[in-house]
């Protein structure tokens, strides 16, 4: 069934401070995620759901330039999904100051004269699927002005991280409790995912009303914090739509790793861009050199020359030395893992060099990083273009981009900015 909703708007703003140091020099929408930009994974999910026009509500120079230079008008994504050049399109909000995600959506709707129903999702939330047709029929059948996709949360401890909805019997939202201090203060286990279906006309109407115009003047233009509560209070039909899907707010390094490991394990390999797998190991690449590397990797794993365990994703044109151990980790394109190195429960982004006998555990290693021989990185986040010298030890620390860590240095529990 084709979806009646084919237009999506993605607000992209802010500096992503909670993800520092990964976002010090990178738009949060463009951090590497399963060997591609995070936003690319989101767009792929939208295309599979039936979206054919995406408007990027970009705010700020870095956000715009990095997103535009990678995605352009969407031609590469269209080609990947066998869509014609006019069947999928990416467009961008002009350089208009936006003070929140609702203002970015409003400005985009006005600039492009968008009409009809629109899907809104965030640039730092990933989800495994969305039955957009079913959501739209729920939304239209109840004559909703706006639909909020809600995720049932089973862990009471997680509820305090999100806005939690109280639903009426007719499916409309009575109110939200924003980040309740204790789980027992939550009115339900249904949290706001930041995924919305909304009528462009009704959103324009709201901001032209006295209530909406005042919010706009005062700069209160965040959907979850400002606009949705005001719409509910002023008797707009804001409906809640429970959807039990895999969904992650990738706003912190911890949440990022949680999302990576879950989706690596549970995403079909074609969605990962992989058509070669050996047990839990997925290896990207389809050309002759890649096929030779894949065959060699399997032979060496079977003979015990290398050890690959758990769920592993290895990108294109990587090198893996003898006696290497890789367990439950992601190795991005063009990376070198030297002999006797050990990588566990970690993400190593593209064009990194992991030296002989180096050890990386429960960490995120940014792009173009060198972890030299016998260095140790544990429970740490390393920014882009960092050099970690031979024998250095980094534990429970954050290292900002382009830092030089001399050989033999020991850093424990520090933030090096």
Residue 335: which CATH number? Answer: 2.160.10.10
Same structural domain, 56 and 202: yes
Question: Phi and psi of 210, rounded to 5°?
Answer: -65, -40
- Tell which of 265, 297, 314 closes a domain: 265
Same structural domain, 41 and 153: yes
8-state DSSP, 227? I
- End-to-end Cα distance, the chain: 51
Number of domains forming the structure of the chain: 2
Same structural domain, 187 and 284: no
Side-chain half-sphere CA neighbours of 406 within 13 A: 1
Same structural domain, 208 and 356: no
- Tell which of 238, 265, 292 closes a domain: 265
Q: Between 200-208 and 101-112, two packed helices, what is the crossing angle to 10 degrees?
A: 110
* pTM score: 0.93
Q: How far is CA 105 from the centre of its chain?
A: 19
Give domain status of residue 2, yes or no. Answer: no
Same structural domain, 158 and 287: no
- At 43, which CATH number? 3.90.550.10
Could you state, in chain order, the average pLDDT of each consecutive group of 10 residues for the chain (417 residues)? 84 91 96 97 93 94 94 94 90 91 95 95 90 91 93 86 90 89 88 94 94 93 92 93 91 94 93 91 93 95 96 97 98 98 98 98 98 98 98 98 98 97
Same structural domain, 203 and 78: yes
Give domain status of residue 384, yes or no. Answer: yes
Same structural domain, 222 and 288: no
- Tell which of 265, 290, 308 closes a domain: 265
Same structural domain, 196 and 62: yes
Same structural domain, 373 and 226: no
55 membership: H or E segment, kind and range? strand 53-58
The pLDDT of residue 2 is: 59
Same structural domain, 260 and 288: no
Same structural domain, 182 and 48: yes
Question: Cα separation of 273 and 243, whole Å?
Answer: 26
Same structural domain, 143 and 257: yes
Give domain status of residue 397, yes or no. Answer: yes
The pLDDT of residue 369 is: 98
Residue 140 domain boundaries: 7-265
């Amino acid at each position: 069934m084709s979806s009646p909703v084919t237009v999506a708007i993605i607000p992209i703003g802010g500096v992503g401070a909670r993800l520092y140091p990964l976002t010090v020099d990178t738009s949060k929408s463009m951090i590497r995620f399963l060997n591609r930009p995070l936003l690319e994974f989101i767009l792929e999910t939208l295309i599979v759901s039936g979206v054919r026009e995406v408007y990027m509500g970009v705010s700020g120079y870095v956000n715009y330039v990095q997103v535009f230079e990678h995605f352009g008008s969407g031609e590469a994504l269209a080609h990947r999904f066998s869509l014609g050049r006019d069947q999928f399109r990416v467009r961008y909000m002009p350089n208009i100051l936006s003070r929140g995600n609702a203002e970015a959506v409003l400005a985009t709707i006005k600039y492009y004269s968008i009409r009809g129903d629109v899907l809104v999702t965030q640039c730092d939330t990933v989800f495994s699927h969305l039955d957009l047709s079913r959501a739209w029929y729920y939304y239209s059948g109840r004559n909703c002005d706006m639909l909020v996709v809600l995720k049932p949360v089973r862990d009471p401890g997680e509820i305090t991280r999100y806005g939690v909805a109280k639903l009426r019997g007719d499916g409309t939202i009575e109110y939200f409790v924003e980040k309740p201090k204790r789980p027992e203060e939550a009115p339900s286990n249904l949290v706001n995912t930041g995924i919305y279906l909304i009528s462009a006309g009704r959103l324009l109407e709201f901001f032209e009303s006295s209530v909406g115009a005042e919010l706009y003047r005062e700069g209160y233009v965040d959907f979850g914090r400002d606009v949705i509560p005001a719409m509910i209070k002023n008797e707009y039909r804001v409906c809640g739509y429970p959807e039990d899907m895999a969904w992650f707010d990738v706003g912190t390094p911890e949440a990022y790793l949680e999302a990576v490991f879950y989706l690596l394990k549970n995403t079909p390999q074609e969605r990962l861009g992989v058509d070669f797998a050996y047990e839990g190991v997925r290896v990207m690449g389809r050309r002759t050199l890649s096929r030779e590397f894949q065959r060699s990797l399997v032979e060496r794993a079977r003979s015990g020359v290398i050890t690959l365990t758990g769920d592993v994703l290895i990108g294109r044109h990587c090198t893996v030395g003898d006696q290497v151990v890789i367990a439950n980790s992601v190795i991005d394109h063009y990376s070198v893992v030297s002999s006797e190195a050990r990588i566990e429960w970690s993400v190593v982004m593209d064009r990194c060099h992991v030296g002989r006998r180096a050890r990386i555990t429960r960490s995120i290693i940014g792009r173009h990083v060198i972890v030299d021989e016998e260095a140790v990185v544990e429970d740490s986040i390393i920014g882009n273009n960092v050099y970690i010298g031979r024998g250095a030890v980094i534990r429970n620390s954050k290292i900002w981009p382009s830092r030089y860590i001399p050989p033999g240095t020991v850093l424990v529990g520090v933030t090096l900015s």
